[in-house]
Structures are given as C-alpha cells and as structure tokens.
C-alpha cells in the first residue's frame, strides 16, 4: 500500500488533526461575527451623531434665515456647514473620540426648504478577522434634516353675502326664524320663512319690518353673521400664527352691498395690518334688496365673483419663499348654490329658465384661477335642505347631492373644508387657514 494511502486511512489522532485543520476557519467565522457586531454598534453611534448634526445645523440656519426675512430680504444667507461639523464631533466620546472619521456636510436652501446632509465613513481595525487576512472594516452612513421656512402669503377672502346666506345659521335658528315669521310680512305674505331678506329701499331707507331686522329682533343668528364673526376672528388667529414680520397680508371682499349694484365689493384692501382688516369686517353684512323678488332673485353669480377676484390679483403668483415672492390664496366661503342670469352654459339639470340659472357652482372660473398659479381654498358652508320650501324642492333639490363635490372640485387639492350647521364656522375657517400656512417643521 502506498505510504500516503496508509496515512489517509490511519484514524489514530484523527480528531486532533481535524480540529487543527478547522480551528483557523472556526476562529475566523466567530471573530467575523464579533467584529461585524462591533462595527454595527459603532455605525449606530455615528448615525446618532450625524442625526444630531444634521438637525442642529438646519435649526441654526433657520434662525439666520428667519432674521434675514425679518429684514425684508429673501432669506438668502451664507450656509456654512461648520456648525454641523462641530455638533458631529461634539458627539464623539469614548472609543469614537479616537476613531478616524471622514465627515462630509452639505447645507443648502432651495424653494424655501433648508436641507442639511451629513455623510460619514470610518475605518475600524478588526480583532479576530486578522486571522483570515481582514485587517479593517469600513462603515458609512448619512443623515438628512429639513426645515421649511415660513411661507409668505396673500389671502383674498371672498365671502358670499348674497340673500341665501341670510338663512338661519343652525337648524335651531331656522326654526326660530320660521316661528318669528309664522304670520307673514305686513302684507300677510312669505309666512314661515327661513331667510332673513335684507330690504333697503331704492332711496336708501331700510325697511324696519324686513326679515333681516326680524331676525335681529328675535336673536336669530344668520349664516352671514357667523361668517363675518369668523373672518374677524381669523385676523387675530393669523396675527398670532405669524412667525416673521409681514408674513401674511389679507384682503376681504363680498359679492356686493346691494342687489342693485351686485358686483365685487372690497371690504378691506390687501394689508399687512391685520388689525385694520379686522375692523373693516364690520362691513360684512347681508346683501340688500330693494324689494322682494327683485331682479327675479338673480343675485348669486359665482362666475362674476371669481372673475372679479381674479382681476384683483395682480402679477404672477410666487412660491412664498420671501416677502417679494408671495403665494396668492383665494379663501372662498360660500354655500355653493348660484342663482344668476346665465342663459348659456347653465350646469343645472333643469337648465336656465328664461335666462335664470340656479345651479351648483360652475368650476370654470376656479380653474382659471388655479391655472394662473393661484391656490383656491374653499370653505363650503353646507347648503341646508328646506324640504317644505317650494322653490327648494323645484330648483335646488335636483342637484343637492352634487353641491359638495362641485365645491371641492373648485378648491386646490387638499384645501377644501365643509362645515355643517352644527359645527363652528370660526373653527372651520381657522382649521383651513392653518392647513394652508403649514407651519414650519423639522423632519429627519
């Protein structure tokens, strides 16, 4: 038998030989697990340091940008990443303090968003893996933090004050109004009326017996009353919400003071002074009519109001990144039912009747605004069904189910809110406002 064959078949001392042969890969494998476990621990510590550095840098820069904005600038400041490096190195302790770490830091501002990125890599010496010829392990990672700087916004409040907004603000108000008018007007007409018609004669004298005054004398709150109060409250909310000087400007409009001159009425000019705008909201009242059924009740033209506000907004809307690059928002509050002279293009299922068009809002004018880059925020004050009212049953009931979806279609996606009669319009208006301004935030 060949000597090598005999050696192979000889089992004496085999365990020791095999153990010796396997010892190196076994130690190498166990060592690899230990070395990799140590590397992962170090990497997690470095990621924590990078997170702190990224957030710290962007927070530090946000202060500088805010100060620049308060000086009426565009928020453009030198974005030196030294703070991030200092914070990163400040996290080094124990083993990390002696570890050679390569750090790359980038801090930039684009479209009103500050972004800091902290990338790192480090080479760790191995302990057990040297047995298999691996002397070191490289670990690397990245952390990112963002801060959205304050948005500079112009708000154009477009408030429906047409006769339909004279309805009771809540079902309880509707019931009170119907009870107060149960005997009808001075002629015995219009009994059980839920609407507070505001009659001002052509000579300017107000009819003391108009249902507008009946509502006030019987503590009936109408929807326009609530909208006016909510608009005033919004001025205070906007003032408290500002994080930099002159962040918001506001203007307010209604559909007109009187039906005889039913055109866009400017309640308050676009102004930084929201306190002055608040005072002007006292002019928000129900549109007056000279007599019942004036102009066949065609006083609610959403088309004309939205076209008018489009004309009021000058120039090209900005991105809101600075005081000279302001976003433009139309804040539209209405019950969604139009009633105007529109012989062509009426969207009602019944069409126009002798030119009178009673329809859910036609979104064409909304799209015109949005195509300009103007954002449209819509607060839909739910149109109350009036099942006992003949006009409602004939003309509004056929499209009642589509009003909300039409109003939502008018809005820029995400900027729609419906408030029912049992909810608070003030709270709803402020909720939508806060949704628009999207207060600055840091995310990592």
- Kindly indicate the confidence band of residue 441, based on its pLDDT and cuts at 50, 70 and 90: very low
Sign of CA dihedral 416, 422, 427, 429: positive
- Angle between the N-to-C axes of helices 425-437 and 223-241, in degrees from 0 to 180, rounded to the nearest 10: 40
On whether both 216 and 169 belong to a single domain, the answer is yes
What pLDDT is recorded for position 380? 96
* 95 lies in some domain: yes
* 14 lies in some domain: no
On whether both 277 and 422 belong to a single domain, the answer is yes
How far apart CA 233 and CA 433 sit, in angstroms, is 12
* 394 lies in some domain: yes
- Say what the pTM is: 0.70
Half-sphere exposure (Cβ direction) of 202: Cα atoms closer than 13 Å: 4
Count the Cβ atoms, other than its own, within 10 Å of residue 262. 21
Which among 342, 301, 336, 337 is positioned nearest to 408, based on CA atoms? 336
Res. 216: pLDDT tops 80: yes
Sign of CA dihedral 425, 426, 427, 432: positive
What pLDDT is recorded for position 326? 92
Q: Considering only residues 166 and 107, tell me which one the structure prediction assigns the higher pLDDT.
A: 166
Cβ(329)–Cβ(155) below 8 Å:
yes
Greatest mean pLDDT among 70-79, 110-119, 328-337, 418-427 = 328-337
On whether both 314 and 262 belong to a single domain, the answer is yes
Which among 177, 157, 440 is positioned nearest to 309, based on CA atoms? 157
- Here the CATH number for the domain that contains residue 207 is 3.40.50.410
Q: What is the mean pLDDT of residues 213-233?
A: 90
What pLDDT is recorded for position 311? 96
Report DSSP letters for 370-430, one per residue: HHTT-EEEEEEE-PPP-TT-HHIIIIIGGGGGGHHHHHHHHSPTT-EEEE-TTS-HHHHHH
Among 3-12, 175-184, 194-203, the minimum mean pLDDT is found in 3-12
Res. 168: pLDDT tops 50: yes
Cβ(252)–Cβ(277) below 8 Å:
yes
* 171 lies in some domain: yes
How far apart CA 112 and CA 146 sit, in angstroms, is 10
Res. 118: pLDDT tops 50: yes
Count the Cβ atoms, other than its own, within 10 Å of residue 280. 20
Q: How far is CA 343 from the centre of its chain?
A: 37
On whether both 80 and 203 belong to a single domain, the answer is no
How far apart CA 98 and CA 90 sit, in angstroms, is 13
On whether both 57 and 206 belong to a single domain, the answer is no
Last residue of a domain, one of 148, 179, 213: 148
Last residue of a domain, one of 120, 148, 176: 148
How far apart CA 339 and CA 358 sit, in angstroms, is 4
On whether both 253 and 188 belong to a single domain, the answer is yes
On whether both 381 and 258 belong to a single domain, the answer is yes
What pLDDT is recorded for position 186? 61
Which among 346, 371, 238, 255 is positioned nearest to 309, based on CA atoms? 255
For 37, the token pair is 């476990």
* 4 lies in some domain: no
On whether both 172 and 133 belong to a single domain, the answer is no
* 260 lies in some domain: yes
3-state secondary structure of 102: strand
On whether both 128 and 163 belong to a single domain, the answer is no
On whether both 177 and 272 belong to a single domain, the answer is yes
* 1 lies in some domain: no
Residues 6+ apart with CB under 8 A from 350: 358, 395, 398
Cα Rg, the chain, nearest whole Å: 35
What pLDDT is recorded for position 35? 65
On whether both 321 and 174 belong to a single domain, the answer is yes
Residue 381 domain boundaries: 153-438
Q: Considering only residues 158 and 292, tell me which one the structure prediction assigns the higher pLDDT.
A: 158
Residue percentage of the chain with pLDDT more than 70: 74
What pLDDT is recorded for position 440? 39
What pLDDT is recorded for position 103? 78
* 6 lies in some domain: no
Last residue of a domain, one of 125, 148, 171: 148
- Angle between the N-to-C axes of helices 302-312 and 364-371, in degrees from 0 to 180, rounded to the nearest 10: 20
On whether both 303 and 347 belong to a single domain, the answer is yes
- Our count of domains for the chain comes to 2
- Residue where the block lists tokens 């329809």: 359
Q: Which pLDDT tens digit goes with each residue over 362-384?
A: 999 999 999 999 999 999 999 87
Q: Considering only residues 131 and 427, tell me which one the structure prediction assigns the higher pLDDT.
A: 427
């Amino acid at each position: 038998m060949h000597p090598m064959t005999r050696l192979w078949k000889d089992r004496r001392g085999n365990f020791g030989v095999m153990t010796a042969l396997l010892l190196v890969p076994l130690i190498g494998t166990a060592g690899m697990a230990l070395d990799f476990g140590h590397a992962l621990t170090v990497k997690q510590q470095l990621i924590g340091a990078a997170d702190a550095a990224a957030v710290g840098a962007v927070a530090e820069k946000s202060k500088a940008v805010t100060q620049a904005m308060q000086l009426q600038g565009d928020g453009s400041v030198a974005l030196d990443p030294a703070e991030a490096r200092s914070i990163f190195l400040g996290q080094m302790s124990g083993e990390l303090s002696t570890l050679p770490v390569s750090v790359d830091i980038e801090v930039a501002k684009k479209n009103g968003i500050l972004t800091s990125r902290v990338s790192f890599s480090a080479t760790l010496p191995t302990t057990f893996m040297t047995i298999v010829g691996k002397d070191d392990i490289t670990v690397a990672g990245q952390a990112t933090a963002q801060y959205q700087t304050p948005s500079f916004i112009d708000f154009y409040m477009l408030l429906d004050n047409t006769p339909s907004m004279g309805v009771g603000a809540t079902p309880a108000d509707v019931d009170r109004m119907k009870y107060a008018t149960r005997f009808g007007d001075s002629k015995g007409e219009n009994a059980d009326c839920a609407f507070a018609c505001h009659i001002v004669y052509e000579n300017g004298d107000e009819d003391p017996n108009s249902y507008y005054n009946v509502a006030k004398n019987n503590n009936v709150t109408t929807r326009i009353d609530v909208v006016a109060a909510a608009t005033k409250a919004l001025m205070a909310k906007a003032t408290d919400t500002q994080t930099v000087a002159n962040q918001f400007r506001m203007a307010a409009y209604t559909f007109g003071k009187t039906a005889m001159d039913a055109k866009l009425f400017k309640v308050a000019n676009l102004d930084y002074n929201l306190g002055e705008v608040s005072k002007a909201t006292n002019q928000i009242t129900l549109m007056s009519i000279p007599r019942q059924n004036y102009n066949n009740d065609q006083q609610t033209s959403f088309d004309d109001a939205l076209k008018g506000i489009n004309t009021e907004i000058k120039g090209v809307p900005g991105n809101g990144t600075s005081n000279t690059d302001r976003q433009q928002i139309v804040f539209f509050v209405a019950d969604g039912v139009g009633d105007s002279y529109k012989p062509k293009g009426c969207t009602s299922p019944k069409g126009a009747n002798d030119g009178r068009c009673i329809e859910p809002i036609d979104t064409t004018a909304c799209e015109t605004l949005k195509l300009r880059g103007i954002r449209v925020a819509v607060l839909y004050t739910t149109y109350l069904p009036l099942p006992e009212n003949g006009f409602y049953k004939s003309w509004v009931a056929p499209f009642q189910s589509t009003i909300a979806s039409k109003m939502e279609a008018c809005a820029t996606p995400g900027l729609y809110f419906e408030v029912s009669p049992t909810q608070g319009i003030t709270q709803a208006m402020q909720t939508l406002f806060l949704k628009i301004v999207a207060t600055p935030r840091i995310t990592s």
